[in-house]
Amino acid sequence: MQPRSAQNPSPPKSPRCRLALVVIARNEAATLRACLESARGLVESIILLDTGSSDDTVVIAQACGAQVHHFTWCDDFAAARNAALAHSPAAWNLILDADERLADDAAGAEALIEATRGPATRIGLLPVISAFDLEDQVAHSTSWLPRLLPASVRYQGRVHEQPCSDLPRVRLPMPIHHSGYRRAALARKRGRNRRLLQAMLEERPEDAYLHYQLGKDDEVYGAFAEAAEHDQRALQWVAPQQGYRHDLVVRLLYVLKRAGQLETAIQLAEQEMPHWQQSPDVFFVLGDLLLDWAMAHPAQAEQEFLPLVDSAWSTCLALGEQPQLEGSVQGRGSFLAAHHLAVLHEQMGRSEQARQYQQLAHELREGQGKA
C-alpha cells in the first residue's frame, strides 16, 4: 500500500486549461500577494490550499483571483501538495511557495510557456535563488528544483517533499526568488520541519537526502558540529550523480571549518577536488580553509600557504560564475573572490594589487546588479 502522501486524493481530471499556479499556505499574508501577482500574467488559474491560516492569507488570495480551498493539516507536506494539485484544472502545474515569486524575466517567461505547449511528458526544473544573511551582507544561492509538473505527477515525503515520477527532467531558465532563508523568516520557522525530518529518518536511517536536509537545518541555526555529522553521513550514501552532491560537499567543508575540524575539512577538500575542477564554490571554500591553516601555522604562512590561498581565489575568478551547479553562491566566481583577494593582498602589504582587486570587485558586483 502506498503511503498517504503518495496517493492521489483524486485521479487527475481532464485538463480545462494549460497552466495553473498551485500554492499551499498558512499565515503567509506578508509575502503571499507578491507570490501570486508574480505569476498572474503567465497562468490561467491560481489554486491556493490554505492549511489553517489565522491572518489575511485567504482574503489576499481571493483578492488576487485565486480559487481557495481548505485542508486540515496532518504533518504531511506531500499530502497537502497532492490535495492542492487535485483541485487544479490544468495540464501543467507551476509550484510556488508563498515566500517565493517569479522573476520579472521575459526570456524566462517565454521558456516556461514554451515548455507547456508540448505534451506533458517531462518535469521542469527552475532555478530557485534563495537570499540569506551572510555576516554583514545578503548572499544568494541557486538550486534547480522541480516546479513545473504535468497534471499526473504527485508528491512523496512528509517534509522536503519531492515529485514521485520517472519522467525526464529539463532545466528551464525562469528564476524564482526565495526569501525564506533570511534571518527573520528562519526565526519564525525554527523547529517547524525538524520533527518531521527526524520521524522520516527513523524509518529510513541511511537516507542520504534526509541527512542532507537535517544538516542544512542544523547549519542555518548554527549547530555546526551536528550539521557536519549529518552531512558526512549524507556524503557516505549519496549517489555520485545526485544534483545536490555539489551543495552537500561545499556545505560540509564550511561546517567542518566552523566546527573547528580544519584538518578534516582540508583532507575532504583534497579528496573532492578532482570532481569539482569547474566549481568556484569549492575553490572559494578551499581558500578560506587554507587561510585558516595559514593563520594556525604563521611560520609557514607567507612562503607556503598564502600563495595557495591566492591561487584558490584566483581560480574562482578564472572559472567565473557557475549557477548551473546546485547550491552555487552568487559572487564566489566574481566579486566575492575579488574582494577576498583584495583583503589578502592588503594584509600582505601589496597595496596596489589590493586596490586593483577591490576595484574589480566593485565592477563585478555592479555588473551583476545590472544583469
Domains present along the chain, CATH in parentheses: 4-186 (3.90.550.10), 276-371 (1.25.40)
Q: Residue 352: how many CA atoms within 13 Å on its side-chain side?
A: 0
**Average pLDDT of 100-124?**
96
Average of per-residue pLDDT across 339-344: 98
Quote the CA–CA distance of 191 and 193 in Å, as a whole number.
6
Q: Which three cell numbers stand for residue 306?
A: 598564502
Q: What is the mean pLDDT of the chain?
A: 93
What residues pair up with 92 in beta bridges, in sequence order?
A: 19, 150
Locate cell 517565454: which residue?
Answer: 110
Give pLDDT, residue 180: 78
Q: Which value, in Å, is the radius of gyration of the alpha carbons in the chain?
A: 22
At 9, is the pLDDT very low, low, confident or very high (cuts 50, 70, 90)? very low
pTM confidence score: 0.87
Q: Which parts of the chain are beta strand (E)?
A: 17-25, 45-50, 67-70, 90-95, 100-102, 123-134, 137-150, 154-156, 162-164, 169-171, 176-181, 328-329
pLDDT greater than 60 at residue 6: no
Q: Is the pLDDT of residue 211 over 80?
A: yes
For residues 10-20, give the mean pLDDT.
75
Residue with cell 517531462: 122
C-alpha cell at 300: 609557514
pLDDT at 5 over 50: no
260 Ramachandran zone, left/alpha/beta (phi>0; psi -120 to 50):
left
Q: Measured in whole angstroms, how far is the alpha carbon of residue 126 from the centre of its chain?
A: 11
Query: 1 pLDDT exceeds 50?
Result: no
Q: Where does the pLDDT of residue 371 fall: very low under 50, low under 70, confident under 90, or very high at 90 and above?
A: low
Query: Is 226 exposed, middle or buried, given 0-12, 13-18 or 19+ CB atoms closer than 10 A?
Result: middle
DSSP codes, 62-114 = HHTTPEEEE----S-HHHHHHHHHHT--EEEEEE--TTEEE---HHHHHHHHH
Using the Cα atoms of residue 105, residue 106, residue 108 and residue 109 in order, give the sign of their dihedral.
positive
- Average pLDDT, stretch 296-311? 95
